[in-house]
Amino acid sequence: MGTPGNDRVYIHEYVNIIGHARAHYMHHITANWAVIAREERQQLCVGVWATVGITSRWPEVVNIWEDTGWEGLAASLEHEYSAPTLQDPSLAAWWAKAAEFRSGGLDRILTPAPWSPTVADLDERKVGGQCYVHELTKLRPHGAPRYFDALEMHGIDLHAEFGFALVGAYKNTLVLGTECLTVWAVPTYLDWTKSEQARNSDSKLAKWVDGLSGLVTESERVLLADAPLSPRKLGRQPVAADRSSYELP
């Protein structure tokens, strides 16, 4: 787990990809935007992933960003939406290029569990895997604190039995405590399949999940794969030199 007292704010994005442009978009967002965001806004990249199509919509990319806190988020929004175009004028060329690869998306503002790792924690520990589990959990009103407690007390350790490492545990801050997101780094696809089998057996993990039935109303697990220049794959934040280090297909 991370250092207690994580006070960052996170931005979660589902990005709709046009045709076969997924690799180009992932390169554009990691090699270009992640560098710009860090230098100009102190915004760090948690990860950039492609959804594994057999588990969700495709083609789709998931991005998660870490802002310095509410004041940092406010400064970014003020800078972005003060322009007549409602876009940062200095990023006009970046937006135009991105439009060739994506058609829109859906974002969330997230706040972390106090013990959720920061990007600094993740980068320092080189948290990553062959794949990732992205679990969006719907809860009864005001259920997020109870769900975080259940994760901290037993859920993290039970997932660790399958090699899962926590990337982040967050709640959607714009709803009534009814939506949480957890992201896990998984060593191998085989480890993921073992965890899914355990959920459908008489395992400790299955019993823990069953014990949440009075709190959880719906849960969707999606499998993710790292972008080539995702921080979780690199073990660090992307830098400008990475722009030419990966040859696009």
Kindly list the structural domains of the chain, giving each domain's residue range(s) and its CATH number in brackets, ordered by start: 9-232 (3.30.70.100)
Q: Pull the structure tokens for residue 132.
A: 């990732």
Tokens of 23: 């690799």
What's the rounded Cα separation, in Å, for the pair 220 and 96?
Answer: 33
User: With bands split at pLDDT 50, 70 and 90, how would you rate the model's confidence at 3?
Assistant: low
Q: Give the rounded percent of residues in the chain with a pLDDT score beyond 90.
A: 85
Check residue 56 and report its DSSP letter.
S
pLDDT band at 85 (very low <50, low <70, confident <90, very high): confident
Assess contact for 184 and 195: CB atoms under 8 A: no
For residue 46, the model assigns a pLDDT of 98
